[in-house]
Amino acid sequence: MAFRVEEATIAGIHAAYRSGDLSVAELVSRYLARIEAYDRNGPALNSVINVNPRAVEEAEALDKAFAEGGLTGPLHGIPVIVKDQIETADIITTFGSIAAKDYLPEKDATAIRLMREAGAIILAKTAMPDFATSWFGYCSAIGETRNPYDLERDPGGSSGGTGCAVAANLGAIGLGEDTGGSARLPASFDNLVGLKVTPGLISRAGMSPLVIFQDSAGPMCRTVTDTAKLLQVVAGFDPADPYTSTAVIAGNTDYVACLDKDALSGKTIGVLRTAFGDPSNPNAAVVNAVIEDALGALRDAGATLVDIEIPDLMDYIVYSSLYINHSRSAIDEFMASRPSLAAESVRALVDTKQYHPMLDLLEEIAEGPEDPYSDPEYYPRYTTSEKFRQVVTNEMGKAGAAALVFPTTQVQSPRRDDLNAGQWKTLEFPTNTLVGAQTWMPAISVPAGFTPEGVPVGMEILGLPYREGDLLALAYSFEQATQHRRAPASAPEIA
């Protein structure tokens, strides 16, 4: 049987290499053809900023290595789609900004190096809102990215380009970034698995920052198994990132071995009812309906569900937010450390109008303090995250819950026309991803089903810090019981 690129997994690709039905060069060429057919043309998804000009050459080298000794690593010949927030020494890295359109980093980010050492090919760099400052698919470098399930809707942000491309099968797996939900929100909108780890489990060296103690590279894949395999490669201590002390505490976990289709059986799962949207809002009501069905699937898989309420949840989310207080300083420091990067500061980007005009958060960040530590609100907001985490984990403890579940976002993916008309400011969008982000707890969004209009909905599973293995096990169990992942009709298999 001819190998199908659509919905291909790491295991399936490696099996095809071993059987001789596929070469790395053939696979790379087929993904490049899909980028041309569906991203540049056809539905014009507009998710890819730059492709790796040496991808075919690298593929041929891997084929030669395979012929001489088999797979070179756990990601041998796996084409990876990477958010353009993560530096690549041989591919221009724009951070989504027109001001950085010619920036070629001096070296790979640590996560990129680890993937290459595992045999991966960095196939393409994808669209993102300038310096990761939105939940939506606006990018001054290439414009607006479309949702492959409904071309009139948004794919999410800030890893929306990666979400769109992986969902449309323009690459095998993806690596995004998640500060407040930037991997999980587009995973929800694009019918993917998106993981936010305990901050520091994955090195951030070579990634542009936003809120440093929340930032993390985030695997974005079509299956939980591939998510675990990618995490296995990129997680670990890195002397270049002091926050990877987290990886030292977490230890050397075999994330793939943690996967268990029966993991939900006998577990108590807390349903965070405070995070559900207003049922009188039609856009929230359809999401609630999908999640209620998903809760039924959890019960059918053997879980006991307990409703949990945190009445002041929104107060914690609002007061532990540090984008306005922290991000200007973090981004400016990053720019200053890279003299060849044409962008000089957030303020300069806004003053010269070198940003997408829909990025209201970038404008607000430019008005934030140059020195966050001089801001009297900074430390009270920072310490609120610790209190927020205590509140959430104590509620889990009272219920005996292994995890909490809730809609990844309270509403379905917005229509582009509504966003263009100013329906949402970034910090007002009702995304529940901020719960995990601002408690510094790991969370994963998994496909939960579709609204009557065919719009994907994600369910978030929130776990305890350093327990990514347990989180992945629960996500895998839900995935195997439901199988909600399906490819979008906008990018079918090319004959």
Selection from 299, 253, 298, 326 nearest residue 461 by Cα: 298
Token pair for residue 348? Answer: 């300069």
CA distances from 322 to 46, 384, 471 (A): 31, 10, 26
Q: Which residue's entry shows tokens 């596929």?
A: 22
How far apart are alpha carbons 178 and 441 in whole angstroms? 12
Three-class SS state of 431: strand
- Which of 134, 140, 158, 159 is the catalytic position? 158
How far apart are alpha carbons 181 and 196 in whole angstroms? 8
- Clarify whether 374 is annotated catalytic: no
Element (H, E) at 408: none
Query: What is the layout of strands, in order, in the sheet containing 217-221?
Result: 48-51, 121-126, 79-83, 173-177, 217-221, 193-196, 443-450, 456-462, 403-407, 268-272, 304-308
C-beta of residue 185 within 8 angstroms of C-beta of residue 156: yes
Length of the chain: 495
Selection from 92, 85, 76, 77 nearest residue 111 by Cα: 85
Positive or negative, the CA dihedral 372, 360, 127, 339 is negative
Burial grade of 236 (CB within 10 A; 0-12, 13-18, 19 or more)? middle
Selection from 371, 394, 488 nearest residue 441 by Cα: 394
Rg (CA), the chain: 21
How far apart are alpha carbons 213 and 198 in whole angstroms? 10
- Clarify whether 245 is annotated catalytic: no
Greatest CA separation for the chain: 65
* DSSP structural state of residue 114: H
- Which of 23, 83, 327, 445 is the catalytic position? 83
Main-chain dihedrals φ then ψ at residue 299, nearest 5 degrees = -65, -45
Bridge pairing between strands 193-196 and 403-407: unpaired
- Which of 140, 159, 182, 188 is the catalytic position? 182
- Clarify whether 158 is annotated catalytic: yes
* DSSP structural state of residue 373: G
Selection from 390, 474, 375 nearest residue 438 by Cα: 390
Q: Which residues contact 41 (CB under 8 A, 6 or more apart)?
A: none
How far apart are alpha carbons 16 and 10 in whole angstroms? 10
Query: Would you please indicate which residues are annotated as catalytic (active-site) residues?
Result: 83, 158, 182
